[in-house]
Amino acid sequence: MPRHSVPLTTLREEVCEANRGLARHGLATLTWGNVSGITPDRECIAIKPSGVPYDRLTPADIVLVGRDGRVIDGSLRPSSDTPTHVLLYQAFTSIGGITHTHSPYATMFAQARREIPCLGTTHADHFHGPVPVTRQLTAAEVEAGYEDATGRAIVERLAGQDPIAMPAVLVAGHAPFCWGRNVAASLENAVALEAVAFMAFGTVVLAEPAGPTLLESHILCKHHARKHGPAAYYGQDPG
C-alpha cells in the first residue's frame, strides 16, 4: 500500500463517487467512461477499473497507479485509458481530476471532427472559446501506443491554452476528455460539456440554412471572467 493511506482512501472515495456520477448524469452508456484523480504530490493516480459497471463500483475497486502508469495497489486492471490520463497529468500540472465520457452530443461533434462553437453565454460560462478537436491519429501512432498517442494529440491541440480555461477537448473520431482542478470539477465540466454540445447541435439545426452566429467575443470574455477570472463575482464567497 502506498504512503498517506488516509488521503488515498479519501481520493478513492472521491473517484468512485465521480465514476458513479457518470451514470447518474446520463454521461455513460454501459461502461463507456472513466474518472481519475491525482494526489497533491502528483505521485499517485486513482482511476476506475476497466469494464466494471458503475452500480457495482466501490472505493476498494478503484485502482492506484504511479506516475508511470504501473499499478501500485488494487486487485483489478485499471482503465484501458490509463496511459492517456497519466500523460495529461504530466502535461497539465494545474489539474487534479480527469473525466472521459462518450456522452452522446459531445461524441457526435468528436465523430464529425467538428469543434463545439461558442454560440451563447452558457458555453462561455464554462469554456473560454470553442471546444477544440484533435487531429486524427496516424496508423503508426496507433500501432506504437494508442492511448499514449491519444494523450499526446490532446496536449498538442491544447498547446498555448490554459487547461483550466479550456477544460475539455474532443478526440477526433473518439469522444471527449474533460478535466478540472479536482475530481469533482472534472465531472462538472463533463456535465457542462454535454449540455453545451446539445445546445450547440440544436442551435446549428435551427439556424439553417444561414448558419449560427458566434457569441460576440466581448460577451464571451465577460461571462467567463465573472465566473473564473481574478475578479470573479459569480456565486458566494467561500467560508
**Cβ–Cβ under 8 Å, residues 130 and 217:** no
Q: How far apart are CA 96 and CA 82, in angstroms?
A: 15
Which cell is 211 given?
Answer: 448558419
- pLDDT one digit per residue (tens) for the chain, 239 residues: 555 555 899 999 999 999 999 999 999 999 999 999 999 999 999 999 999 999 999 999 999 999 999 999 999 999 999 999 999 999 999 999 999 999 999 999 999 999 999 999 999 999 999 999 999 999 999 999 999 999 999 999 999 999 999 999 999 999 999 999 999 999 999 999 999 999 999 999 999 988 999 999 999 999 999 989 888 888 887 66
Bridge partners (DSSP) of residue 225 are none
Amino acid at 18: A
Tell me how crowded residue 69 is: count the other CB atoms within 10 A of its CB: 17
Which cell is 140 given?
Answer: 503508426
Q: How far apart are CA 44 and CA 86, in angstroms?
A: 10
Closest C-alpha among 116, 93, 84 to residue 103: 116
| DSSP designation for 42 | S
Q: How far apart are CA 115 and CA 212, in angstroms?
A: 14
Q: How far apart are CA 59 and CA 39, in angstroms?
A: 15
Amino acid at 225: A
- Name the catalytic one among 73, 125, 146, 148: 125
| Whether 125 is catalytic | yes
**Would you identify the CATH topology of the domain 5-228?**
L-fuculose-1-phosphate Aldolase (3.40.225)
Predicted local distance difference test score (pLDDT) of residue 199: 98
Q: Show me where the domains of the chain are located.
A: 5-228
Q: How far apart are CA 204 and CA 183, in angstroms?
A: 32
Give the residue carrying C-alpha cell 501506443: 145
Predicted local distance difference test score (pLDDT) of residue 231: 85
Q: Is the whole-model pTM more than 0.85?
A: yes
Which cell is 189 given?
Answer: 465540466
